[in-house]
Structure 1
Amino acid sequence: METKKLQLLVTSDIHGYLMPTTYRRTVEPLGLVKLASIIEAYREQRPSLLIDNGDFIQGSPLASYVHANHIESSNPIIDVANFLNYDVAIFGNHEFNYGLPYLKEAVTQSQFPWLSGNIFNEDGTTFTQPYIVKEVDGIRIGIIGVTTHFVPIWEEASHIEGLNFHDAFESAKIWISHIRQHEQVDLVVLCYHGGFSHDLSSGALIEPFTGENQGYLMCRELDCDILITGHQHREIATKAFTKSVVQPGTKGNCLAVITIDLDMQNGQIINKHHEATLHYVDETTPNHPNVASLLDSIHQQTENWLDQPIGRIEGNMLFTDAFQVRIDKHPYIEFIQNVQMASTNTAISCTALFHDGPGGFPNDVTMRHIVTNYIFPNTLKVLRVKGEQIIQALEQNATYFSLKDGELTISESFLHPKAQPYNYDMWEGIDYTLDIRRPIGERVTEVTYQGEPLNPNACYDVVMNNYRATGAGNFPYFVDCPIVKDVQIDMTELIARYFEKNPIVQAKCRRNWTILY
């Protein structure tokens, strides 16, 4: 008896982060240039396949710069993928953000196939091939790719014109059956750019089951050996329903490795064993010298682009005390609200100040200032929210504050076990008063909309970030609110677009809320 030893190396949700930086003038443990060193080291251990599971070409300042300024040139993100000899890639939902011509050019440039088992052209053919069979050391591995079919809900119609997105679970089921019957494969690997609505261990629901994240259903019911997931940016390496399951984070912060040991007798597999692990980039991980060399020029161009003025502030939009911004409304907060409302044509908005340090915009604003202040990769959703739910949300926001010896402080629940400044929202488009002297649950004393008391039974369209729209941060009532609009463009890009339309912005502030204490 012999044992054949193989492995799958998996990335997902790279989002264009090649260099070890989020472009805030710091070096960070992330990026494909560092991950490449880990990939190279693992390739030396046993025969390997390298797979990317989607959201590869969009998201970083470098990706934005390439799209804006180098659309006629080869895509450096694909150049790196080609250099690393990826074997296959899966379409993520963000692959479509720049439109089909841009995406098709990236696919054409790629020296590896992109799989689309549930994305179809109008004539019924698949957008690209649905699966591939790779032979490694005599072992035939079938790899199927499917993408969350919620793309049409999020994406601009013009970006996916002529494409139909079928149910990812049902499509995967069809292709697994097909390759089991017709391709004589030894292993089936399902690559799904989607995540989990249920806990893999207990089966408990962890988010509303909308169909966006069908990973648990796939794991439980489909006849594959290995399930590769993404989309949620989680870090998962486990086993469930006898399958090895991975989800390797985001921005190249870790590599998923699935080792596969196959016991062979007389040319037949008599036993399969596979194990999933995650391997993280850290401060000691070296840049891969050849990848770094490929990126030197475009990285420096991106740095220069980030430092070019993108807009001008007249007045003062800087602050030093983040807590004070949450007590007394600041022009920076009003600016972010205005961007959200202008980007969605919505009259009511809520946003948080995501960090506790100094911030805001100087008079001459660069792209670097934008990404330094807006530190999360949020997109926007417009929800249809009842007035009573707005009041509930304001009551939750009021729990951010406590009174200690008559002094306004931050509640312990927002400080431990970790600081959560991002879970205190400020609202625009309504006027309201929070009285922290009153008991929790009774602190909202007044809410008006367009000069009239907010109607608890009426519905209002509210724009918020996609994180809050999931109900995260103790806002569970948002989960069941109808989604009116889903803008799948990063807020940093939306802020930049706002400055393009409004190159001079007045630092002004209408104080529409009051904190009493």
Structure 2
Amino acid sequence: MKSLRIYFTSDVHGYVYPTDYLDNDRKDIGLLNCMNHYQKDGNTLIIDGGDTIQGSPFTNYLSSKALNKHPMAEIMNVAGYDYVTFGNHEFNYGYEYLKSYMNHLDGKCLCINIKDSTGGIDILPYDIKVMENGLKIGVIGFTTDFITRWERPCNIENFQIEDVYTSIEKCFDTVKGQADIVIGIYHGGFEYELATNKKLSESKENIAYKICKDFDFDILLTGHQHMPIEGQYLHGTYIVQTPHNGTRFIELTMNYDEESGEKNFESSLKEASLPPKQDVYDKFLPLEEEVQRWLDTPVGHLSQELNPEDHLTMARQGSPLANFINQIQLEESGADIACTSFANVIKGFHKNVTVRDILATYPYPNTLVVLKVTKEVLKKALERCASYFDYKDGEISISESFLKPKVEHYNYDYFSNLTYTFDLKNEVGNRVTSISYQGKELTNEDTLSLVMNNYRSSGAGGYEFYCECEVEKEILTEMPEIIINYFTKHSFVDVDEKTYIHVIPS
């Protein structure tokens, strides 16, 4: 009997220190807490599934610095990571930042469907590793090919990003023939609900269900959807997934009987509980303290606090917080109308605004795009937003399509300078009953300029029709910086309190 142990993280999103950055308190979160629980020996693998170097104020701060050796790589090395793969957010801060991280890792970067055409980053499609007990482990990495839809072209111009399924198809049998155990590291999730086998998406963004069905992986380590999957079998493959931001990690054990070929798996989601790994904590503490001081830097003042309500309430009634982001986008772009969305978890703004408020409310390094839109396009966009609501027996709730397989509040958009009405008594796709601009109902001949983030302009989140629109302008400054600059121009800001949406029944 031979054993293998795996520690697996994914979607850490730069949360290294034991804090969520909403304040400076120590909490059960972060890579330093996770890694202090690892017990590595010659029959243990430590693996990360991507979205590691973007998403927290810590990594946002790092992205603005000239780095000789990337602190995230140093931390991963101390933790003992053997393998990583790319997440889609790995590319957000550009090629040089990503290269600094990847090329300072001691572990190997595996990704069968991404190649660096310049050769600047060392990427292997797969690896065969012989453990101390003689087990031959084949490991293949791959990531969602929707990166090409979401990412700014300048950030991925050095990469060839290929179809996930066909890339696996080309190498799977080769790896299988050399290994006792085949492991997939997939920065992607499931297109079916695992409990019911109900298909939830026709998109190829997540195809883990199809991969398990068509390929004989022993273990598939998944990510991207931020779902807690403690461990279960799917079409004979043992699958796991972690929540995001380093709140939990997977510990998986396998026992392999060479004579019978029988493989038994057990796994659990472990809490990233305090204390953190102290020597690493101390080494990078001066950097973390710099980040905390930067977060507490005052940037300006608002006429009122902008605290978020629950997502359903804001979607039904509108939100001054969304209006505020939109008024910044409107001034920066000169567009007629604006739309924005909220992350699943947002902090909001105090009257006296700090950098912390901004990064905890708008955590993404999005840039802005201005599109020329017609009434027809706006109708499609607003119908997509109206599908956020489920109306049954007089009760309004959030549609399951925005909650499964992944919670996607960020795919509901709030518009400003555009007044619109949803009638939820109508069927989905026919709920938008009014769209007006400057007090006049739009006609089919009207066109407007609409500013949005580059993620949405790519058609992501069910807004594919935006890809057909004319691009009037691109603003390549990242939104957190745009918000900070806005306060530089306007040290005291009157918030737009207008309600642009009307939902029936109210």
Would you call these one fold, judging by a TM-score over 0.5? yes
Higher mean C-alpha displacement, 327-336 vs 79-88: 327-336
2:474 aligns with: none
8 Å contact kept, 2:457–2:466? no
Structure 1 segment 188-337 matched on structure 2, within 5 A: 188-200=182-194, 202-209=196-203, 211-236=204-229, 237-265=231-259, 270-281=260-271, 285-309=274-298, 311-313=299-301, 316-319=303-306, 332-337=321-326
Q: Residues 198 and 206 of structure 1 are in contact (CA less than 8 Å); yes or no, is this contact kept in structure 2?
A: yes
In 2, distance between residues paired with 1:97 and 1:198?
A: 28
Q: Verify the 8 A CA contact 1:15 1:57 in the aligned structure 2.
A: yes
**Do the aligned residues in 2 keep the contact of 1:54 with 1:92 (CA within 8 Å)?**
yes
Q: Distance in 2 between matches of 1:318 and 1:482?
A: 33
What does residue 437 of structure 2 align with?
449
Structure-2 residue corresponding to 1:511: 498
1:9 maps to what in 2? 7
Change (3 A) 1:98 1:398: closer
- Which residue identity is paired with 2:208? G
Q: Secondary structure at the match of 2:46?
A: strand
Contact preservation (8 Å) 2:320, 2:495: yes
SS in 1 for 2:21: coil
**Bigger shift: 316-325 or 184-193?**
316-325
2:89 match: 94
Q: Indicate if the aligned counterparts of 1:62 and 1:302 stay in contact, CA closer than 8 A.
A: yes
| Contact 2:137/2:181 (<8 A) preserved | yes
1:406 maps to what in 2? none
Map of 1:360 onto structure 2: 349
| TM-score where L is the length of structure 2 | 0.79
**Whole-angstrom CA distance in 1 between matches of 2:56 and 2:93:** 13
Shift of 1:224: 2.1
Instruction: Provide the secondary structure at the position in 2 that maps to 1:217.
Output: helix
1:109 aligns to what SS in structure 2? coil
Q: 2:98 aligns with which of 67, 87, 103?
A: 103
**1:235-286 Cα deviation digits (max 9, x unpaired):** 2221111111111221111112221111134xxxx3232325232326x542
Q: Deviation at 1:62?
A: 0.3
2 CA distance for matches of 1:83 and 1:275?
27
Post-superposition offset of 1:360: 2.9
After TM superposition, give the deviation of residue 170 of structure 1 in Å: 1.1
The 3-state SS of whatever aligns with 1:51 is strand
Query: Does 1:500 pair with 2:493?
Result: no
**2:296, 2:356 within 8 Å by CA — same for their partners in 1?**
yes
Aligned length: 478
Aligned counterparts of 1:206 and 1:100: Cα–Cα separation in 2: 34
**How far apart are the structure 2 equivalents of 1:512 and 1:452?**
16
Q: Residues of 2 paired with 1:100 and 1:94: CA distance?
A: 12
Measured in 2, the distance between the counterparts of 1:148 and 1:244 equals 20
Distance 1:469 1:457, change over 3 A: farther
TM-fit CA distance, 1:428? 0.9
Equivalent residue of 1:58, what SS? coil
Q: Distance in 1 between matches of 2:113 and 2:409?
A: 39
* Alpha-carbon distance, 1:138 to partner: 0.6
Are the counterparts in 2 of residues 351 and 465 from structure 1 also a CA contact under 8 Å?
no
Residues 6/328 of structure 1: CA separation in 2 closer, same or farther (3 Å cut): closer
TM-score (norm 1): 0.77
Residue 148 (structure 1) aligned with residue 133 (structure 2): no
- Partners in 1 of 2:389 and 2:10 — Cα distance? 38
Match of 1:430 in 2: 418
Taking the aligned partners of 2:96 and 2:315, their CA distance within structure 1 comes to 44
1:22 to 20, 42, 47: 20
Counterparts in 2 of 1:135 and 1:342: CA distance versus 1, 3 Å: farther
- Whether the aligned pair in 1 keeps the contact of 2:355 and 2:484 (CA below 8 Å) is no
Contact 1:131/1:143 (8 A) holds in 2: yes
Unaligned 5+ segments in structure 2 are 472-476
Deviation at 1:504, TM superposition (A): 2.4
Question: What is the CA distance between 1:303 and its match in structure 2?
Answer: 0.5
Cα deviation 1:318-363 (Å, max 9, x = unaligned): 2579599889877643221134567888654444678999953434
Q: Structure 1 residues 9 and 393 mapped into 2: Cα distance closer, same or farther (>3 Å)?
A: closer
Deviations 1:23-72 (A, max 9, x none): 111433221111112223xx47x821001111111111000111113x23
Write out aligned runs for 1:21-40 (5 A).
21-25=19-23, 26-40=25-39
SS state at 1:38 partner = coil
**2:93 touches 2:155 (CA, 8 Å); kept in 1?**
yes
Q: Secondary structure at the match of 1:35?
A: helix
Counterpart among 112, 120, 132 of residue 117 in structure 1: 112
8 Å Cα contact 1:317/1:332 also seen in 2: no
Contact 2:320 2:498 in 1 (8 A): no
How do 1:34-73 residues align onto structure 2 when only pairs under 5 Å count? 34-40=33-39, 43=40, 47-69=43-65, 71-73=66-68
Q: Deviations over 1:185-226 (max 9, x none)?
A: 2111111111121234544221232x2212111111113221
Q: CA deviation at 1:290?
A: 2.5
- Percent identity reads 27
| Structure 2 CA distance for partners of 1:66 and 1:353, relative to 1, 3 Å | closer
* SS of structure 2 residue aligned to 1:264: coil
**What is the alpha-carbon root mean square deviation over aligned residues?**
4.4
**Is structure 2 residue 135 aligned with structure 1 residue 139?**
yes
CA offset at residue 148 of structure 1? Answer: 1.4
Q: Deviations over 1:292-341 (max 9, x none)?
A: 223322211111111123x324x514257959988987764322113456
- 8 Å CA contact 1:387, 1:457 repeated in 2: no
Q: State the 1:509 CA deviation.
A: 2.3
- What's the CA shift for 1:371? 3.6
Contact 2:307 2:321 in 1 (8 A): no
Amino acid in the other structure paired with 1:259 = T
Aligned partners of 1:386 and 1:459 also within 8 Å: no
Residue 227 of structure 1, CA deviation: 1.1
Residues 369 and 412 of structure 1: CA distance in aligned 2, closer, same or farther (over 3 Å):
same
